[in-house]
Amino acid sequence: MRQPGVFLFAVLATLVLTGCAPETEKTEKAGKAEKTEKAEKKAETAHFSGISTEYEAVRLVRLSGGLSHPWSVAFLPDGGYLITERPGRLRHFDGEDLVEVAGVPDVHVENQGGLLDVVLHPDYEDNGWLYLTWSKGDAEATTVALSRARLDLEERTLVDRELLFEQDRRSEPGRHYGSRLAWKADGTLLMSVGDRGAEPERAQDPGDHAGTLLRLTETGGVPDDNPFVDDDEVLDEIYTWGHRNIQGLVIDPDSGDIWATEHGPRGGDELNLIRAGENYGWPEVGKGRDYQTQEPFGETRSRDDVVDPVYEILPTHAPSGLALVTRDIFPGWEGDLLAGGLRSERIRRLVVEDQVVVHDEELFHGKVGRIRDVRQGPEGHIYVLTDNGDDDGLWRVEPEG
Q: Which residues are catalytic?
A: 176
Chain centroid, CA 392 distance in Å: 13
Secondary element (H or E) of residue 15: helix 4-18
Q: Which residue in 365, 337, 205 sits closest to 282, CA to CA? A: 205
> Are the C-beta atoms of 131 and 145 separated by less than 8 Å?
no
The one-letter amino acid at 304: D
Which alpha helices (H) appear in 167-260, and where do they start and end? Answer: none
Instruction: Report the distance separating Cα 362 and Cα 375, nearest Å.
Output: 17
Give 125's DSSP letter: H
Q: Beta strands of 252-369 (E only): which ranges? A: 258-262, 269-273, 311-313, 319-324, 337-341, 347-353, 356-363
Give the CA angle between residues 361, 248, 333 to the nearest 5°. 35
Total residue count of the chain as it appears in this document: 401
At residue 11, φ and ψ (nearest 5 deg) are -60, -45
Give 202's DSSP letter: G
The residues, any chain, with a CB within 8 Å of residue 96's CB and separated by 6 or more, are none
Secondary element (H or E) of residue 364: none
What are 165's strand-pairing partners?
A: 146
Give 216's DSSP letter: E
Q: Which residue in 339, 372, 376 sits closest to 357, CA to CA? A: 339
Q: What is the DSSP string of 302-328?
A: --TTSPPPSEEE-S---EEEEEE--ST
What are 151's strand-pairing partners?
A: 158
CA–CA distance from 390 to each of 63, 227, 280, 370 (Å)?
Answer: 16, 43, 36, 11
Give 45's DSSP letter: H
Question: Helix or strand or coil: residue 362?
Answer: strand
Secondary element (H or E) of residue 57: strand 57-67
Instruction: Report the distance separating Cα 107 and Cα 98, nearest Å.
Output: 21
